[in-house]
A and B are shown apart, each in its own frame.
Chain A
Amino acid sequence: MFLEIKDLSVKIENKNILKSLNLNINKGEVHAIMGPNGSGKSTLANVLAGKEDYEILNGRINFKDNDLFDLNIEERAQEGMFLAFQYPVEIPGVNITPFLYSAINSKRKRMNEEEIDNLSFAKLLKSKASDLGINIDMLKRSVNTGFSGGEKKRYEILQMSILNPDLAILDETDSGLDIDALKIVTDGVNKLKTKDNSFLIITHYQKLLDYIKPDYVHVMVNGSIVKSGGSEIAAEIEKDGFQKFQ
């Protein structure tokens, strides 16, 4: 199993958020998690990425034969996990290009791969940015600083395509995007899909799933997955809302 979440319970500040959650993802699969506000979707994404604000009460997570809880935040990223943030953080003064260069080489180092040189990296970055309709001038700016909502999400996908993760978690990447930006972002995701990597897509709406076809759709309510199936579930939610699952 590529990612196995078994009986996971998590709390933050005395509030139980995830309750005995189970989820399995195999290599090459695209899974979508849909759920109402406050159901714990983003908590799951943050726990997977290693955010340290949460207390793990119970359960385990295996990722590529590693106990995920044995890995810190950066080790998870270096092992091939990537979280596209719902609200990407603005970091004034940190230039995008050296930041991504450092990120890609930290992953290569862990994988015992040769570090990418500056010139090859510049070419790679330019080509990936062009694919995503990102202006080269934007690469001279500070991380997410002064970006519009759409630019931030595009920049998340640019990072994802550069780092080429084994498991990408997209936390409400569709929020705040107009239809054109949504197409660019989802095209970027679809180009990355191979039989060797997997996606976990967190969203409220079916719209995103019109562009990225999931193999499985899960409904998450009150910290647990209450129903799993195929794309038909997304259509059902679009029609009737989450009420019937609560």
Chain B
Amino acid sequence: MNIQDNYLKNKKNIFFSENKDIQTHREKLINIFENDGFDKKNNESLKNINQKNFIDFKYRYLISEETSVINNNQENNYSIVSVNGQCSSFKDDKIEITKILDEDYNDFSKNDTIENNDHFVNLNSLFLNSGFKIVIKKNNNIKIKISNIITDDDLTIFQKNNYICEEGSSLNLIEEYENKNNSTSNILNVIKLEKNSQLNHFLIQDNSPNHNLIITSHSSCKKDSTYTQKVYNFSEGYVRNFHYSELIGANSEADLQGIFFLKDNNTSNNKTFVKHLAEDCKSNQVYKGILNDSSKATYFSNTHVDQVAQKTEGYQLSKGILLSDNASYFSKPELKIYADDVKCSHGSTIGPIDENAIFYLRSRGMSKIAATKILISSFINEELSSIDNEQMSEIIQKKLVRYLSKVK
């Protein structure tokens, strides 16, 4: 079924289909799909994509009987269970959680650059069926853990979440994606950091082989705000991590990091894109991958420095270890600099594990497999040792041990 027929057939189950402006925008998106088709060669968002799974999909969405749960048992600590992308409303003096509204649709979804390049964001806008909005109120410092649960097989979740960190607020956000169902989640997180706010965002992805996760985020940082994102992808199913950040206020920072652990025939596509639109801003984009068996990954990183963004510091790094001759990792760093007083760099190193290091460790009595495992751990040591949340650190270590147990 083509995109238009699929949309028309399921329109009644899709958010905001009665809104005329949104309807007009969706017609435009349908035209893009109809006119541009799926040009795999020239569109980064389609690399390594199985079109049947993602474009010619069968739409199915259920509002679950299980309801979402919000707890704040400890002061400033909230835990949320989101079910099929939905979350109940909640309000206290620190945070407010609501369903997303028509007015939230426009954020990022109506972005010309994205509309022309990222089919998955367009699909999210077109088939939107779930999502929530969380506002962290001014000058509050809180922690939120969100577990994303999918209740049934063959569901197609198109979810949009808006996070707003008001002025002077600080949010530590852990998102867990651990699903066993044969379903597809297409999630768009739109994050707004007001002046002098901070968000540390951890995403733990550990889905089973039949669950596809497409996650896109767009963060915009106003003056003196900092957005840090750390992605840990242990999923055995397909994962797409595309993360965009805009530094719109002076002295703001974006740090986008990710580690992925792939095996079997799994694929992961990754992209980070930081736009420097104000002066004295810093960005960091670092992705590391460990690829075993016949797994495949791509990583596109991009720093765009606008001509007003003087005194920019922008760094990119991509590193990969290939544990098998059949594994492949394609990395493409890009810099576009239109200001003249900047410090920017990019680097990429991909290759097998260092044989000299293996020999050195074995010559001290360590087995080859133990030496390989210790070198994999050391490859990501910097990222793991920088996790300052004990609970997170334990979770990641356990998943790493599980991954390493399969390395032969």
Residues of A bordering B, CB below 8 Å: 49-52, 72-74, 76-78, 82-83, 85, 88-89, 91-94, 99-100, 102-104, 106-107, 110, 142-143, 159, 163
Contact = CB atoms under 8 A, between A and B. Distances in A.
A88 B364 contact: no
Given A93-B382, A102-B370, A83 B363 contact: yes
Chain B facing A: main interface SS: helix
A85 B360 CA distance: 8
Contact of A89 (B356, B366, B367, B379): B356
B366 A102 contact: yes
B386 to A, nearest CB: 12
Given A72-B362, A93-B378, A93-B382, 7 more contacts: A50-B363, A74-B367, A85-B363, A106-B370, A143-B360, A163-B364, A163-B365
Nearest to A108: B365
B385 to A, nearest CB: 8
Given A91-B357, A102-B370, A106-B367, A142 B362 contact: no
Contacts of A110: 365
Among B354, B359, B368, which residue has the most Cβ atoms of chain A within 10 A?
B359
Given A102-B370, A142-B378, A91 B360 contact: yes
A49 B357 CA distance: 14
A81 to B, nearest CB: 8
Interface string B12-31: 00000000000000000000
Contacts of A92: 378, 381
Interface residues of B, number: 22
B363 A73 contact: yes
A77 B365 contact: yes
B374 interface: yes
B361 interface: yes
A98 to B, nearest CB: 9
Contacts of B382: 93
A103 B367 CA distance: 9
A91 B362 CA distance: 13
Nearest to A87: B356
B377 interface: yes
A74 B368 contact: yes
A93 B379 contact: yes
Contact of B364 (A51, A103, A142): A103
A109 to B, nearest CB: 9
Nearest to A107: B365
A82 B365 CA distance: 9
Interface in B359-408: 359-368, 370, 374-375, 377-382
Contact of B377 (A73, A93, A103, A159): A93
Given A91-B378, A92-B378, A106 B360 contact: no
Given A91-B357, A94-B374, A159 B381 contact: no
A51 B359 contact: yes
A107 B366 CA distance: 9
A108 to B, nearest CB: 9
